[in-house]
């Protein structure tokens, strides 16, 4: 009995350390990616650009960063699976993310090129690190708890990102009280605080989460060559992982809409005249609404299955896209932000865990590289469409409405995924 208790405590420590990385890196998603950098870019860094040009450039920059991560992810994942070192790869990308997030502190008025370059490089570091972080999930969580562990990670992310965003928002609203010259300096200091927060709370993962063993057997070969060989084998065996690939296509479609709403909402709000305080405050509401609702989605998946819970989330996102077209007042943005908080964490966490349940552990980093491709290509097409539509129409309103097609098409394709068959294949390979 004592051995069982000790094993349970060790398991919980590992799970908690893994979840704490969500707490750490969500500060980048909230303060930098969503709340403060887009309006800072529009109003300060790109202040000299005319009309909707700042919105367009931002969309193009986001798309470029997603392309680069998408190309690298599966290759690096296959190498990490073969040679080991998921945590080492995670750490390398994390350093890149931390350095260039901190560099955003030096972006001032008119420095829109530097802002885009630093953001793109920080996003590459963040996206690359997430490939290897997510790939640890099937190794960390017990099969029967994978939905709940993934949801707990997202809930921790909402709490951690929300707490730092609350501090950063207080800095922006009352800069003199905190020793800043003005709101602009407070925003730049917020970017630096994200880098420090991220580094500090990433430490438990590197200390407590064990490195999964390498899958290499027999004579050792060059890891790069072995990584490409594994990718070729995966493509040759696509039919064997049919349900997994069907899910990836469905995820690519609906994640396109979700990712675009996350990345483009505040710059769209800034374009139609909503102030930075309202934009950041509403996103703070999203964070704290998301904490309990993400856990609720984890429990809902246990009762109804992950797919049905995802359908519910996509229905709410469709409604958000329709209502976003009519948004004119700050309180409209607050309402829509609250609605996003209802479903954002649940849809993302259950997508991650459903994919993990259909992934063989020996190929977890490689397959999560493909998962990341789906999310990053979602981050390419959506913002690119958003930017092009803004350029053509002079407004982001029609861009918001266009996202409906991603949610509807994604849900239709998801309905064709036989997740039980995909899980059975993964279990069979895990026993080999």
d(CA 210, CA 117): 34
Closest CA to 411 of 247, 245, 238: 247
pLDDT band at 2 (very low <50, low <70, confident <90, very high): very low
pLDDT band at 70 (very low <50, low <70, confident <90, very high): confident
Find where tokens 């996103």 sit.
283
Give the burial class of 2: count Cβ atoms within 10 A of its Cβ; 0-12 exposed, 13-18 middle, 19 or more buried.
exposed
Helix (H) or strand (E) segment spanning residue 243: helix 242-271
Q: What percent of the chain is modeled with pLDDT above 70?
A: 83
pLDDT computed for residue 4 by the predictor: 41
- Rounded mean pLDDT, 93-117: 96
Residues 6 or more apart whose CB falls under 8 angstroms from that of 230 comprise 78, 81, 82, 363, 366
Residue range 2-210+241-430 in CATH 1.20.1250.20: yes
pLDDT computed for residue 5 by the predictor: 42
Find where tokens 């800095």 sit.
171
Q: Are 284 and 165 in contact (CB under 8 A)?
A: yes
Higher pLDDT, 281 or 352: 352
What is the distance in angstroms between the CA of the first residue and the CA of the last residue of the chain? 30
pLDDT computed for residue 177 by the predictor: 95
pLDDT computed for residue 212 by the predictor: 86
d(CA 429, CA 367): 14
pLDDT computed for residue 1 by the predictor: 41
Closest CA to 281 of 346, 328, 323, 331: 331
pLDDT computed for residue 233 by the predictor: 65
Q: In this model, does residue 245 exceed pLDDT 80?
A: yes
pLDDT computed for residue 271 by the predictor: 67
Higher pLDDT, 395 or 286: 286
d(CA 399, CA 382): 9
d(CA 298, CA 52): 39
What does pLDDT average to over the chain?
A: 83
pLDDT band at 32 (very low <50, low <70, confident <90, very high): very high
d(CA 189, CA 171): 9
Q: Are 141 and 14 in contact (CB under 8 A)?
A: no
Both structure tokens of 14: 């590992």
Question: What are the CB-based long-range contacts (under 8 Å, 24+) for 422-429?
Answer: 422/241, 422/243, 422/244, 422/247, 422/357, 422/358, 423/357, 423/358, 425/240, 425/241, 425/243, 425/244, 425/358, 425/360, 426/357, 426/358, 426/359, 426/360, 426/361, 427/143, 429/360, 429/362, 429/363
d(CA 280, CA 87): 33
- Does the CA dihedral 314-315-319-320 come out positive or negative? negative
| Residue 158 to residues 74, 123, 238, 331, 341, Cα–Cα distance (Å) | 27, 19, 35, 22, 9
Higher pLDDT, 374 or 362: 362
Residues 6 or more apart whose CB falls under 8 angstroms from that of 8 comprise none
């Amino acid at each position: 009995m004592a051995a069982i208790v000790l094993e349970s405590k060790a398991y919980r420590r590992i799970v908690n350390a893994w979840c704490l990385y969500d707490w750490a890196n969500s500060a980048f998603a909230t303060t930098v990616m969503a709340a403060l950098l887009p309006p800072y870019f529009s109003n300060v860094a790109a202040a000299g650009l005319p009309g909707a040009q700042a919105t367009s450039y931002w969309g193009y920059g986001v798309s470029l960063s997603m392309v680069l991560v998408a190309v690298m992810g599966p290759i690096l994942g296959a190498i990490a699976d073969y040679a080991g070192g998921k945590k080492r790869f995670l750490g390398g990308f994390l350093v890149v993310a931390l350095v260039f997030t901190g560099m955003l502190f030096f972006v001032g008025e008119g420095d829109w090129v530097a802002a885009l370059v630093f953001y793109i490089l920080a996003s590459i570091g963040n996206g690359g690190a997430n490939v290897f972080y997510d790939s640890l999930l099937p190794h960390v969580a017990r099969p029967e708890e994978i939905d709940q562990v993934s949801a707990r990670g997202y809930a921790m992310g909402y709490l951690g990102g929300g707490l730092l965003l609350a501090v950063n928002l207080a800095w922006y609203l009352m800069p003199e009280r905190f020793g800043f010259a003005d709101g602009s300096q407070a925003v730049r200091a917020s970017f630096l605080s994200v880098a420090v927060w991220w580094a500090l709370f990433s430490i438990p993962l590197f200390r407590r989460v064990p490195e999964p063993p390498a899958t290499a057997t027999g004579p050792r070969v060059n890891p790069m060559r072995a990584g490409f060989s594994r990718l070729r084998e995966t493509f040759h065996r696509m039919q064997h992982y049919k349900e997994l690939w069907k899910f990836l296509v469905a995820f690519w479609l609906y994640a396109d809409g979700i990712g675009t709403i996350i990345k483009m909402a505040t710059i769209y709000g800034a374009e139609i005249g909503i102030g930075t305080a309202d934009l950041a405050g509403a996103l703070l509401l999203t964070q704290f609404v998301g904490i309990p609702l993400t856990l609720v989605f984890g429990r809902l998946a246990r009762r109804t299955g992950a797919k049905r819970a995802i359908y519910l989330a996509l229905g709410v996102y469709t409604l958000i896209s329709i209502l976003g077209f009519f948004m004119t007042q700050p309180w409209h943005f607050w309402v829509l932000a609250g609605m996003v908080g209802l479903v954002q964490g649940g849809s993302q966490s259950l997508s991650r865990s459903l994919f993990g349940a259909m992934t063989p552990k020996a190929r977890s980093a490689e397959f999560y590289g493909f998962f990341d491709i789906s999310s990053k290509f979602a981050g390419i097409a959506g913002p690119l469409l958003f930017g092009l539509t803004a350029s053509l129409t002079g407004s982001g309103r029609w861009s918001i409405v266009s996202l409906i097609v991603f949610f509807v098409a994604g849900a239709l394709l998801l309905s064709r995924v036989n997740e039980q068959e995909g899980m059975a294949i993964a279990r069979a390979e895990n026993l080999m």
